[in-house]
Amino acid sequence: MSALGNISSASSMLLSDFNGLIPVNLAEIIFILAVAVFTFVAAKLVDKLMDAELRAMNKKMNVDQTSYNLLRHISVAVVYLIGLIIVVSSIPFLEKVSLALLAGAGFAGIVVGLAAQSTLGNIIAGISLAVFRPFRVGDRVNVMHEYGKITDITLRHTVLRTWDNRRVIIPNSVIGDEAIINWSIEDPTVNWPVDIGISYDSDIDLARKIITEEARRHVNVLTHVELVKYDPTIQKNEAIQVLVTELGEHAVNMRLLFWCADRKLCYTTGCEIRESIKKRFDAEGVEIPFPYRTIVYKKDMGENARLKSETPTNPSFHASQDN
């Protein structure tokens, strides 16, 4: 019995010491859970309200969506930070832990800084993108061998929706160091090329006439009157151009240059114009050539060489045969 008593007293001492180290009761646990749930709900509510406000403001005025989205993400982060501060300040144990961490903040700051170097770099790059705005939400860009539309810029990453509806998530620190082609900034119009080859026997002037007419007929090709609204310096002969770019091995290569109001229209417009040109070429006798190849089998080469060697070439031999 004395042994059991000693074990019981030792257990009681251990439990009291443990409770002294972590004096968190059931009420405090419930409070932590309640604050966590409230913080999560409040963050989602702030995000939804600010998104709805942005949509309403866009209907009335031209709002910079990129800066507004960054402000929205920062607001959500502040809500989570406030929830964390409430939890830490209301529980003595966590407050003591936080004070101890602050006391050793020098070494801990170095450790955390090294561990979070990538995350902090992305956040700083995200703020830089929002301030200097090399691209905005809604812009169409080429970046990292991908073409698409910028759909979101967060504190950590940028979301690019590609032409085939993929979502490319690019860290801000990476995209900030990339060369970017922005098709939407300042002037959204695009001068788009379509390459076409005709045979050397075909009439270049007739081919140029057909190509120009088919380009003018397309609804997405801008006229000179429409172009001068974007750039008054554009000349009338620059609206649609057909140039001979190369005298190739098999074809006279020509290039059609036309203008579209937006990058998203260019590719399909070019495909449709190319198809209509092919039909007109077929109807009016303009040939689109393809390379010709002569294939000689090695067996035939050997047989020809043998026959050639057996054929007599001496004139006296032919004379004796005639006699």
pLDDT in tens, 116-137: 667 777 778 877 887 778 888 8
pLDDT tens-digit map of 39-86: 888 888 888 887 777 666 655 545 566 666 777 777 888 888 888 777
In a domain, residue 293? The reply is no
- Structural domain containing residue 174: 135-182
In a domain, residue 318? The reply is no
How many CB atoms sit inside 10 A of residue 241's CB?
17
Task: Give pLDDT, residue 282.
Answer: 94
Interhelix angle 65-90/26-60, nearest 10 degrees: 170
In a domain, residue 129? The reply is no
State mean pLDDT over 255-282. 95
User: Cα–Cα distance between 257 and 14 in angstroms, integer?
Assistant: 85
Do 54 and 93 lie in a common domain? yes
pLDDT tens-digit map of 157-196: 899 999 899 999 999 888 888 889 999 888 889 999 999 9
**Strand intervals (E) in the chain:** 140-143, 146-153, 157-162, 167-171, 181-182, 190-198, 240-247, 252-260
In a domain, residue 302? The reply is no
User: Cα–Cα distance between 85 and 77 in angstroms, integer?
Assistant: 12
Residue 15 has pLDDT above 70, yes or no: no
Computed over every residue of the chain, the mean pLDDT equals 78
The residue length of the chain stands at 323
Do 199 and 249 lie in a common domain? yes
User: Cα–Cα distance between 144 and 74 in angstroms, integer?
Assistant: 27
In a domain, residue 152? The reply is yes
CA distances from 313 to 316, 318, 320 (A): 9, 8, 13
In a domain, residue 203? The reply is yes
Do 90 and 38 lie in a common domain? yes
How many CB atoms sit inside 10 A of residue 96's CB?
11
| Amino acid of residue 42 | A
- Per the structure, how many domains does the chain have? 3
What is the DSSP-derived secondary structure letter of residue 311?
Answer: S
